Amino acid sequence: MAPPCAIDPSPEVTAITDTAAVTLPDFLAAPIQSNEIGKRRRKAREGQWGIAAPSDTRDFRFRNYEGKPKAKRWDHYFSHEARVRKGNRLKGAAKFLTSKPGIISLGGGLPSSEYFPFEEVSIKVPARGKFSEAETKESGVVITAGKHDLANMKSTYDIATAFNYGQGSGSAQLLRWVTEHTEFVHSPPYQDWQCTLTIGSTSGWDMTLRMMTRPGDCILAEEYTFSAAVETALPLGVRMVGVPIDSDGLIPEAMDDILTNWDVNERGARKPHLLYTIPTGQNPTGATISGPRRRELYNVCQKHDIFIVEDEPYFFLQMQPYTGPNAPDVPPPVNHNEFLKTLVPSFLSMDTDGRVLRMDSFSKVMAPGSRIGWITASEQFIHKYQQYADVSTQNPSGISQLVLFKLLDEHWGHDGYLDWLIHMRMEYTKRRDVILGACEKHLPRSIVSWNPPMAGMFHWMKVDFKQHPDYPQKSIETIEEEIFMRVIDHGALVMRGSWFYASEEDAHDTLFFRATYGAAKADQIEEAVRRFGVAIREEFGLDKEMDEKVNGLITPEG
């Protein structure tokens, strides 16, 4: 496959040192000086690369924030545990090590790297622009981390460092990379934003709930939302209140209504102070909130003092416009600048108040097994998050961090990663088009309807349950259950919409199924959709042939 956009994929950069010029995304050429990141990097403090060394994400930002507003204070929302938690005392003692040159530490209980039974770690990864599995087999590049590369001046990161203990922030090495990436993609418009690594967004959400809510709270979310996010909250005594959505996601007026008319007695909870949203390629609905609507939602959050958690694993699975089964495909973005322009603006990018906590993840664009994500939020939150991590999750796996650092920072660099993301965009576009084509071919439009997803990995299909022969004798949930089991009988698995209710207590009068096009191969996706169609037809007592004629899919010849 040709590289998705016009870059030179030839230089196989296997080690970028801090003093080397850093290859820059071409989009950066215009707005800021051409090697702004490189300049910032050259000022890096040596000390932060060491074992469990503290680092500060502010040191990795390359823009000037003078004159920008500072985040509002969020103390009134922090939970008791977040307020009283102090730092990890032993990790804090590391500061004495920098106070005296030549000091010998018998302090921290860190084992010697002498006893890590790992001399080298190598990964074979795609060369820039040659991203497919077949190309990687053919032309993949092997990059290697040695045990003492840092001491030997071969790299800023190595096994001796990455495989030892670390800080709750994650290593300076990878934290720098995600901070730079966040800054040039989102350019947060306030002064004191920071990043911290997480062990994945599921944990990030659990920790956020424990820091920002208390038992009995209600929080807002899309009325259909990621079920694990609900399951994380419920045992903490935190209920979700579903905000009505349409095909473009959260409806600002509906959210404003809920908040304006919140009745503490009736609801049995204080007015919500937190919105959990998956704004892009939402799980399960696939909906993406447009830029203008995000701004309206942000305004509603300002009006009601709502803290926004934007959970964005699918942000870079935004796809090409859908042109239908018979129209030509839209060509890929011509360069990084164009690519970044196609992306819907994040809540973070419009966050002048520091009220947004953004959760990013490598799970959908690199590998879920890395268990690495990151959070961007105001310093107040990040500091408390790191204190929490230091006595709980610690840092993400150092093995994972080293592997991602070698690939993202030293091998691909920022612009190689943008190429990869464009590759992912084109691949997911193909997959999305496969499932939509299959749905158009195999599903009875009189019963099943959908909107083409513009981002993410989920296709959300509405079933007109009122046409079911057993309605209204049977409830929505019973009809859903019966369809679900019949689909399984026919050899396909799709997820039941009711599993994604933000609140099971509310009444629901819609019936959906969620199908993902992210995993199965194209012919399997088509076959599974066909099986789903057969099950639907059987359930609704439809004559397949008649229906296909109605849909114009059976030509006069056959």
Residues 475-534 that bind a second copy (CB under 8 A): 488-489, 491-495, 499, 515-520, 524-525, 527-529, 531-532
The verdict on 100 binding a second copy (CB under 8 A) reads yes
Round to whole Å and give the CA distance between 55 and 350: 27
| Closer Cβ to a second copy, 21 or 234, answer by number | 234
Among 21, 151, 234, 334, binds a second copy (CB under 8 A): 234
Question: Least distance to a second copy from the beta carbon of 162, Å?
Answer: 5
Choice from 13, 44, 123, 340 touching a second copy (CB under 8 A)? 123
Per DSSP, the three-state class of 189 is coil
In the complex, minimum distance from the CB of residue 525 to a second copy, in angstroms, rounded to a whole number:
7
Residue 258: other Cβ atoms inside 10 A: 20
Nearer to a second copy, 6 or 106 (CB): 106
Contact 240, 309 (CB under 8 A): no
Residue located via tokens 């790297």 = 113
Which of 29, 32, 44, 391 lies at the binding interface for a second copy (CB under 8 A)?
391
| Minimum distance from residue 520 beta carbon to a second copy (Å) | 6
Q: Does 535 bind a second copy (CB under 8 A)?
A: no
Applying CB under 8 A, the site for a second copy has a residue count of: 116
Contacts of 521 (CB under 8 A, 6+ apart): none
Give min distance, CB of 45 to a second copy, in A: 20
Residues 162-221 that bind a second copy (CB under 8 A): 162-166, 199-200, 202-203, 206
Nearer to a second copy among residue 368 and residue 472 (C-beta): 368
Contact range with a second copy by CB under 8 A, out of 226-234, 347-355, 440-448, 535-543: 226-234
Q: Give residue 477's region: left, alpha or beta (phi > 0; psi -120 to 50).
A: alpha
CB neighbour burial string for 207-239, b if at least 16 within 10 angstroms, e if fewer:
bbbbbbbbeebbbbbbbbbbbebbebbeebebb
Cα separations in angstroms, 314 against 205, 283, 287, 319, 428 = 16, 9, 11, 10, 11
User: What is the spatial distance between Cα 463 and Cα 512, in angstroms, rounded to a whole number?
Assistant: 6
Stretch of 1-9, 11-19, 132-140, 299-307 contacting a second copy, by CB under 8 A: 132-140
Listed ranges 223-231, 255-263, 300-308, 537-545: which one lies at the site for a second copy (CB under 8 A): 223-231
Q: Which token pair is 542?
A: 């439809």
**Closest separation in Å from C-beta 450 to a second copy:** 13
Indicate left, alpha or beta for 170 from its phi (over 0: left) and psi (-120 to 50: alpha).
left
SS (H, E, C) 292-315: HHHHHHHHHHHHCCCEEEEECCCH
Interacting positions 345-364 with a second copy (CB under 8 A): 363-364
Shortest Å, Cβ 1 to a second copy: 12
Q: How would you label 298-334 residue by residue, b for 16+ Cβ within 10 Å and e otherwise?
A: bebbeebebbbbbbbbbbbbbbbebeeeeeeeeebbe
Closer CB to a second copy, 297 or 363, in the complex: 363
* Beta strand residue intervals within 2-93, DSSP E: none
Q: What's the closest the beta carbon of residue 267 comes to a second copy, in angstroms?
A: 20
Which residues between 363 and 382 bind a second copy (CB under 8 A)?
363-372
Q: Which is nearer to a second copy, 197 or 250 (CB)?
A: 197
Minimum Å distance from CB 469 to a second copy? 25
List helix spans (H) across 354-412. Answer: 379-390, 398-404
* Closest separation in Å from C-beta 126 to a second copy: 5
Q: Give the CA radius of gyration of the chain.
A: 25
Identify the three-state secondary structure at position 287: coil
Interaction residues for a second copy, span 32-91 (CB under 8 A): 80-82, 84-86, 88-90
Beta-carbon contacts of 117 under 8 Å, excluding residues fewer than 6 positions away, are none
- Cβ proximity to a second copy, 13 vs 29, nearer residue: 13
Smallest distance from a second copy to CB 35, Å: 26
> Residue written as tokens 């495989």?
163
Residue 285, classed as helix, strand or coil, is: coil
Q: Which of 219, 403, 434, 536 is in the footprint of a second copy by CB under 8 A?
A: 403
Q: Which is nearer to a second copy, 256 or 310 (CB)?
A: 310
Residue from 1, 20, 21, 110 touching a second copy (CB under 8 A): that is: 110
Return the number of the residue (136 or 349) whose C-beta is nearest a second copy. 136
Of 297 and 403, CB closest to a second copy: 403
By CB under 8 A, name the one of 2, 19, 117, 507 that touches a second copy.
117
Q: Site residues for a second copy, window 445-464 (CB under 8 A)?
A: 457-458
Residue of 255, 356, 375, 407 interacting with a second copy (CB under 8 A): 407
CB nearer to a second copy: pick between 257 and 427: 427
Q: Which 272-301 residues touch a second copy, going by CB under 8 A?
A: 283
Q: Which of 259, 393, 436, 511 binds a second copy (CB under 8 A)?
A: 393
- Look at residue 246 and give its three-state secondary structure: strand
Q: Which of 8, 133, 266, 545 binds a second copy (CB under 8 A)?
A: 133
Q: Which residues lie closer than 8 Å to 64 by C-beta, 6 or more apart?
A: none
Cα torsion 365, 37, 334, 342: sign: positive
Tell me the DSSP string of 308-367. EEEE-TTGGGB-PPP--TTSPPPPPPSSHHHHHHHSPPPTGGG-SSS-EEEEEESTTTT-
Smallest distance, Å, CB 156 to a second copy?
A: 16
